[in-house]
Each structure stands twice: as structure tokens, then as C-alpha cells.
């Protein structure tokens, strides 16, 4: 059985959605850098960045980084179709997963923790960084929509790893509201994902 360290309305929700699509059993441990407790101490021992999602496999391997976790589940549970069996289509899916984590997820890290980038700055300077990072995040989602949103990798009616990660990461920092105005078709596709029965059930369980 897997053990998933996670928090409500966090990136671990994407991994729970993937585990649900795989039909995999898992134990959920409430843990995050912002909630003190036993889970936090256990998480610190496994992931020095103290970040969720962190997944421990049945044989004790520790997996961090959303893209790597989703790829592992895709390979371990091929029937769930998290990843395509077609090598070129799969390569485009890996590109899209990497795009989301390297660009969108990274911008959210700046927005949530500007003091990590500007430790000596005053409040106004940090606010300016957050404004810039938010603008950049919204532009990154526009580009995602343009590059991937109608391409071979994008199947909101039959979600896999890319759709799940896009569905969750786009819920933060005003990205959905922005996309609703500037990329309405892509925004509507994200709402189709929100309504998928397994995605909806996990979302509701985790406070969304
Ligand atoms: N690169 C990681 C980022 C994970 C991440 O930033 N998770 C957030 C929650 S959504 C977190 O745990 N942040 C706490 C912190 O950085 O202190 C991934 O792709 O999974």
C-alpha cells in the first residue's frame, strides 16, 4: 500500500486523484510545512524540503515531485491510462507535465513564499515580486492553453496525468479566473475535469 503525505487544497490532491484513477490503495497522512504535528515530523525525515506531495511506495521508496510521482503511477498502473502507450504522445505528455511543474508550480512557490527569494527585502519589494510572479503565472497558463490545450495530449473527457495536474495547479493564485476571461474554451475544459466523478470525489474530500 502507498502512503501519501498531503494537505487539503494542496498539490497532493492531484496525486490522490491519480491513485483513485489507478484503483490503488493508500494511507493518507496529514502533513505540510504549514501545519505542525506528528505528520510534519515524519514528512521532514522523508523530504528535506518538507513539501507535499510526498509518496512512499509499498517497498519503502520515497517519491517527491509531482511529475515524477505521476509518471511512476502511469508506469506502474498502465490500465489507468495516466500516460499514453504511444511513445511520441507520451513524450508530449512528459513535456506538458514538466511544463506545469517547471513553470506554473514554480511561480506559485514564489507567490506563496516571496521571502525565500528576497530574504532582506521590505514588504513593498516582496509585494512587487508577488505581483510580477502572479502576472507571469497567468501568462504561463495562457501559453499552456495555446500549446497543449487542443493538442494530442489534452483529453478532459478521459483524464490522465497531464489533465489531473493541470486541473489542480490551475486552481491557485487566480489562474482560473484569469483563464475564464482570456482562454474561455480551456477554462471550460478545466471545469469538465472538475466534474469527473473521481476527481470531484477527491476534491470534496480535500476541501475543494
Ligand atoms: N516541485 C514540487 C513542488 C511541491 C510544492 O511546492 N508543494 C507545496 C504544496 S502545494 C508545498 O508543500 N509547499 C510548502 C513549502 O514549500 O514550504 C512538486 O512538483 O511536487
Whether 92 and 178 map to the same domain: the answer is yes
- Which of 109, 113, 137, 161, when mutated, tests ligand 1's pocket best, judged by the most ligand atoms within 8 Å of its CB? 109
**What's the pLDDT tens digit per position in 93-122?**
999 999 999 999 999 999 999 999 999 999
- Flag whether 21 is in a domain: yes
Number of domains in the chain: 2
- Flag whether 202 is in a domain: no
Whether 39 and 92 map to the same domain: the answer is no
Q: Looking at residue 71, which CATH number applies to its domain?
A: 3.40.30.10
Taking alpha carbons only, the member of 166, 207, 173, 174 closest to residue 66 is 166
Q: pTM score, two decimals?
A: 0.97
Whether 63 and 161 map to the same domain: the answer is no
Q: Which residues contact 24 (CB under 8 A, 6 or more apart)?
A: 2, 73, 77
CA of 21 to the centre of ligand 1 (A): 22
For residue 25, the number of C-alpha atoms closer than 13 Å in the C-beta half-sphere is 2
- Flag whether 184 is in a domain: yes
- Flag whether 207 is in a domain: no
Whether 37 and 137 map to the same domain: the answer is no
User: Cell numbers of 36, please?
Assistant: 505542525
Q: Which atom of ligand 1 is nearest to the CA of 53?
A: 20
Confidence of residue 152 (pLDDT cuts 50, 70, 90): confident
Angle at CA 41, nearest 5°, toward 38 and 46? 130
Q: What is the pLDDT of residue 151?
A: 82
Whether 75 and 92 map to the same domain: the answer is no
- Flag whether 43 is in a domain: yes
Q: Pairing relation of β-strands 26-30 and 54-56?
A: unpaired
Whether 187 and 93 map to the same domain: the answer is yes
Q: Whose CA is nearest to atom 5 of ligand 1?
A: 51
Whether 46 and 65 map to the same domain: the answer is yes
Q: Whose CA is nearest to atom 12 of ligand 1?
A: 51
Q: What is the pLDDT of the chain when averaged over all its residues? A: 97
Last residue of a domain, one of 52, 80, 108: 80
Question: 58: domain range?
Answer: 2-80
Whether 75 and 91 map to the same domain: the answer is no
CA of 53 to the centre of ligand 1 (A): 7
**pLDDT (average), residues 20-24:** 98
CA of 86 to the centre of ligand 1 (A): 30
Whether 91 and 186 map to the same domain: the answer is yes
Whether 148 and 185 map to the same domain: the answer is yes
- Which of 13, 32, 49, when mutated, tests ligand 1's pocket best, judged by the most ligand atoms within 8 Å of its CB? 49
Q: What is the pLDDT of residue 78?
A: 98
Last residue of a domain, one of 34, 60, 80: 80
CA of 65 to the centre of ligand 1 (A): 8
Whether 76 and 103 map to the same domain: the answer is no
Whether 190 and 95 map to the same domain: the answer is yes
Q: Is 98 left (phi over 0), alpha (psi -120 to 50) or beta?
A: alpha
CA of 118 to the centre of ligand 1 (A): 18
Q: List residues near ligand 1 (CB under 6 A).
A: 10-11, 32-33, 50-53, 65-66, 101, 105, 109
- Flag whether 180 is in a domain: yes
Last residue of a domain, one of 49, 80, 111: 80
**Can you tell me which residue has the cell 497567468?**
138
CB environment 26-52: b (16+ within 10 A), e (fewer) = bebbbbbeeeeeebbebbeebbeebbb
| pLDDT exceeds cutoff 90 at 28 | yes
Amino acid at each position: 500500500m502507498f502512503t501519501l503525505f498531503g494537505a487539503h487544497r494542496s498539490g497532493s490532491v492531484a496525486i490522490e486523484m491519480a491513485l483513485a484513477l489507478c484503483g490503488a490503495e493508500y494511507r493518507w497522512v496529514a502533513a505540510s510545512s504549514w501545519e505542525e504535528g506528528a505528520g510534519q515530523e515524519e514528512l521532514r525525515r522523508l523530504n528535506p524540503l518538507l513539501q507535499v506531495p510526498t509518496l512512499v511506495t509499498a517497498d519503502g521508496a520515497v517519491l517527491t515531485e509531482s511529475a515524477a510521482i505521476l509518471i511512476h503511477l502511469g508506469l506502474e498502473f498502465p490500465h489507468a491510462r495516466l500516460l499514453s502507450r504511444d511513445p511520441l504522445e507520451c513524450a508530449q505528455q512528459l513535456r506538458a507535465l514538466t511544463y506545469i511543474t517547471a513553470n506554473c508550480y514554480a511561480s506559485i512557490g514564489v507567490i506563496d513564499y516571496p521571502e525565500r527569494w528576497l530574504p532582506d527585502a521590505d514588504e513593498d519589494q516582496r509585494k512587487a515580486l508577488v505581483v510580477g510572479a502572479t502576472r507571469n503565472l497567468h501568462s504561463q497558463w495562457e501559453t499552456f492553453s495555446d500549446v497543449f490545450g487542443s493538442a494530442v495530449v489534452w483529453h478532459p473527457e478521459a483524464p490522465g496525468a497531464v489533465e489531473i495536474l493541470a486541473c489542480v495547479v490551475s486552481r491557485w493564485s487566480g489562474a482560473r479566473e484569469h483563464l475564464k476571461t482570456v482562454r474561455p474554451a480551456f477554462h471550460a475544459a478545466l471545469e469538465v475535469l472538475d466534474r469527473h466523478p473521481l476527481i470531484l470525489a477527491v476534491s470534496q474530500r480535500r476541501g475543494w
